[in-house]
Amino acid sequence: MPEHLEALRAFVPPETPVYRLVASLDGLLLLRRQLDLLLEPADVARVEAIGGLQDLPSHAILDRGRIVGLWEYDPEREDIAWTSFVRPDAALRAEVERTATMIREHLGDARSFSLDSLDSPESRKPRIAALRAGS
């Protein structure tokens, strides 16, 4: 909106990381077909190897609007399997734990979509194993 244009132009991104674990339905990612624009060039090949750039193979970890990792909730272990494209620091680990606690205490699971046969805990096992292996 025109009344917000000046505030948008004045915005300065934070200098330190601001990590968020978001669902695959997050507005930044939903219906976007140029995910490479949200990745560092060095990370494009990693995401393509895991599952392609049309849609992310798992939920995203964001830092100031950039995709810096992928995650899945593991209901068997009641925690998050994740990999990052940046060196994990205390802030990232804390955000992973905060999100895992929220899912464990309030949701019980974090699916990509509601079709049981396509996004069940069983069907996510290969993605969870790949994330835990750092793929």
Residues 131, 135: Cα–Cα separation, whole Å? 6
Q: Which pLDDT value is given to residue 52?
A: 56
Joined tokens for residue 89: 């620091």
Q: What is residue 20's predicted lDDT score, i.e. its pLDDT?
A: 96
Q: How many domains does the chain have?
A: 1
At residue 126, the pLDDT reads 81
pLDDT of residue 42: 79
Fill in the amino acid letter for 81. A
Structural domain including 109 reads: 14-132
pLDDT of residue 17: 95
Asked if residue 100 lies in contact with residue 79, where contact means CB atoms within 8 angstroms, the answer is yes
- Per-residue buried b or exposed e for 37-64, using 16+ beta carbons within 10 Å of the residue's own CB: ebbeeebbebbeebeebeebbbbbbbbe
Q: Is-contact 123 71, C-beta < 8 A?
A: no
Check residue 80 and give its pLDDT. Answer: 95
> Per the domain annotation, does 27 fall within a domain?
yes
Report residue 113: phi and psi, to 5°.
-155, 175
Confirm whether 7 is domain-assigned: no
Q: Is residue 5 part of a domain?
A: no
- Span 58-94, pLDDT tens digits: 889 999 988 899 999 998 899 999 999 999 999 999 9
Residues 19 and 91 sit within 8 Å (Cβ to Cβ): yes
Rounded Cα–Cα distance for residues 74 and 55 (Å): 20
Residue 90, CB-side half-sphere exposure with 13 Å CA sphere: 0
Query: Would 25 be classed as within a structural domain?
Result: yes
Q: Note whether residue 90 is domain-resident.
A: yes
Q: Which pLDDT score is estimated for 135?
A: 52
Q: What is the pLDDT along the chain (135 residues), one digit of tens a residue?
A: 889 899 989 999 899 999 999 987 777 777 666 677 777 787 777 776 665 556 677 889 999 988 899 999 998 899 999 999 999 999 999 999 999 999 999 987 887 765 555 667 777 788 888 888 875
In a domain, 6, yes or no: no
Bridge partner list, 81: 72
4 belongs to a structural domain: no
Residue 46 domain flag: yes
